Amino acid sequence: MGPARVLPRIQQPADLRGLSDAELDRLAEEIREHLVRTVTATGGHLGPNLGVVELTLALHRVFDSPRDRLVFDTGHQSYVHKLVTGRQDFSLLRREGGVSGYPSRAESEHDVVENSHASTALSWADGIARAFQAQGVTDRHAVAVVGDGALTGGMAWEALNNIAHDPDRPVVVVVNDNGRSYAPTIGGLATHLAGLRTDRRYERLLDWGRSSLVRRGRFGRFLFGALHAAKAAIKDFVAPQGLFSDLGIKYVGPVDGHDRPAVERALDRARRFGGPVLVHVITQKGRGYDLAEADDADHFHGIGAIDPVTGASLSPAAPSWTSVFADEMVAVGRQRPDVFAITAAMLIPVGLQRFAQAHPDRVADVGIAEQHGATAAAGMALAGLHPVMAVYATFLNRAFDQVLMDVALHRAGVTFVLDRAGATGDDGASHNGMWDMSILQVVPGLRLAAPRDGATLRAELREALDVDHAPTVVRFPKGALVDDVPAVAREGATDVLRAPHGDRPDVLLVSVGAMAGVSLEAAERLAAHGVDCTVVDPRWVKPVDRSLVDLARRHRVVAVVEDGGRTGGVAAAVRQALAEADVRRHVEGFGLAQEFPDHMSRSALLERCGLTGQAVARRLAEVVSRESADGTTPVSEPSGEDAGRL
């Protein structure tokens, strides 16, 4: 019978401090086994967390959470932190009712901020430390655990500049350096960190000490022993740390991030320093899991459910929206030498890897720097290219000012492709791409397309690339592709997906993007109860096309079904367009609730927000009945069993 398991005994960070070195080593093994077993079953961020096991244990042994405040950047490297703060049931990881895939203030007092958008932890830590300082608190620390990829974001450097301004404010910055963000970390900072990783001057100094001092007998051996014990200090003295020293930040490292005692010593030095300190920790993403290590860890950064032995996906393979975009970009690239692709540290997830392989000289990964990427794209456009910047929809929020003032103001022909638009679900509030259609409505001249299927995605991408005097946006959801939904007619720029049966139809149902299936189902349910519907897809939802206004004139009620926020979205734009044309129609909007949803599946979130065929039909039956009672042609309101069928 083997030794008792250690992990079940750990319910709070204080439990770590009484463990022996042997128990801590065994705990690290158990944590990795737990992560591989559970995350391969549920999906989640596996590679980053396998790499921070020893680092997280050291952090919680040196600092006193929650009194000391630990902020993870990005928060997907917090699974080990969750395990040692009493959250070991990962059976529903990233699912409704289970543990979030990011820190969550609702889950634990040890979680400071949700922090799933990168490059913000240093600002959080600076603010927390300033508050401690202003209140005369001297025995609490603010610690930012920053993945090296997050340091490619400009906000991190704004924070570093402020952190360095006060030499007496105790902020500890732990750089988790694995050479990658999602893909390999790029840029000048990455080169600098690589230099720190590979500098051997301190090793040569130790070699000199070994060869010269040992020859001097017992005293020489004593001196060499002292020199070796002071290796960390020597390394700190001779390492190329000018980048951080020039800012006024004490630099400690590099430290082997899988040597827990060494990490603890470095963190303890930083804790006792009393001012801003950067601890440079080198880790291996995917550590301890052969498949992840052999794969170079990119494919195991974030995974779906997989076989833990073979790595094979347990989900049936199906074409995705992203794969359609990826293929079309390659085709466009062959025909248009002016098309240039930009990504923000997400080359593979947003589908630009194939384009990069076909046209390596026409792609730029700007790191986690969406603001820079957007303005650089404007510069490319003004110099004769047509850039395509592909990002997750939630991350375009960070570059809004650049889209408005650099791209739109200068009428630059830049196409933004927004993957995972609308409800995404599993990654929680920060990752739902539900804000773009509301935020972008205020941008003058911008045109926004919402494809309903693969065929319209291909067509609308090409239409966007033909616009060279204004920004264009093409958005599509996360997940498997839906079957193509053919149009039965075209009125102006608007596709008619379902024609009415009578001359005076009741409802014009405007379907936005991937909501075509929901809208058509709602129309069929209404038709069964005597409500005549026309279903249309405007294809381009900004600006509102004149053809949509003309169609509204021929219907009594207009409904808009969109997978964006209800406030300021497409329904609001349609309502305004009708008012300006003096078309007085009731406009019923269906969209996502204007809140930060908990993590749950996309389908569960849509159902919760009333974005199902049945829910839309029920609500529209009530609206049409009310409008009929006000003097238009009456329609019977369903009740009882009929209402249930709706």
Q: Is 432 annotated as belonging to a binding site? A: no
- Contact status, residue 73 vs residue 118, Cβ threshold 8 Å: yes
DSSP string, 466-524: T--SS-EEEE--SSBPPPP---SEEETTEEEEE--SSSS-SEEEEE-GGGHHHHHHHHH
Q: Which element (helix H / strand E) includes 345? A: none
> What are the start-end ranges of the H helices in 319-431?
321-335, 353-358, 370-382, 393-396, 400-401
Determine the 3-state secondary structure of 184 from DSSP: strand
Nearest-5° Cα angle at 198, 188 to 206: 140
d(CA 646, CA 642): 7
d(CA 428, CA 480): 19
Nearest alpha-carbon partner for 343 in 392, 386, 412, 403 = 392
Computed on alpha carbons and rounded to an integer, the radius of gyration of the chain in Å comes to 28
Whole-number Cα distances in Å, 532 to 503, 526, 528, 621, 645: 10, 7, 9, 11, 17
- Contact status, residue 67 vs residue 194, Cβ threshold 8 Å: no
Amino acid at 143: V
Q: Is 212 annotated as belonging to a binding site? A: no
Q: Is 116 annotated as belonging to a binding site? A: yes
Residue 433 DSSP label: B
Q: Is 313 annotated as belonging to a binding site? A: no
Task: Please say whether the dihedral angle defined by the alpha carbons of residues 602, 605, 609 and 611, taken in this order, is positive or negative.
Answer: positive
Q: Is 469 annotated as belonging to a binding site? A: no
- Contact status, residue 94 vs residue 78, Cβ threshold 8 Å: no
Nearest alpha-carbon partner for 68 in 105, 109, 104 = 109
- Contact status, residue 387 vs residue 341, Cβ threshold 8 Å: yes
Q: Which two tokens stand for residue 370?
A: 């969406």
- Contact status, residue 465 vs residue 336, Cβ threshold 8 Å: yes
d(CA 371, CA 384): 21
Q: Is 178 annotated as belonging to a binding site? A: yes
Could you give the residue numbers annotated as active site?
A: 285, 370, 398
DSSP β-ladder status, 540-542 and 447-449: antiparallel
> What are the start-end ranges of the H helices in 116-241?
121-134, 154-163, 188-198, 201-213, 217-229, 231-238
Q: Is 150 annotated as belonging to a binding site? A: yes
Q: Is 182 annotated as belonging to a binding site? A: no
Q: Is 118 annotated as belonging to a binding site? A: yes
- Give the number of C-alpha atoms closer than 13 A to the C-alpha of residue 335, restricted to the C-beta side: 8
Q: Is 641 annotated as belonging to a binding site? A: no
- Contact status, residue 299 vs residue 349, Cβ threshold 8 Å: no
Q: Which residues are annotated as a binding site?
A: 76, 116-118, 148-150, 178, 289, 370
Q: Which residues are annotated as a binding site for thiamine diphosphate?
A: 76, 116-118, 149-150, 178, 289, 370
Q: Which residues are annotated as a binding site for Mg(2+)?
A: 148, 178
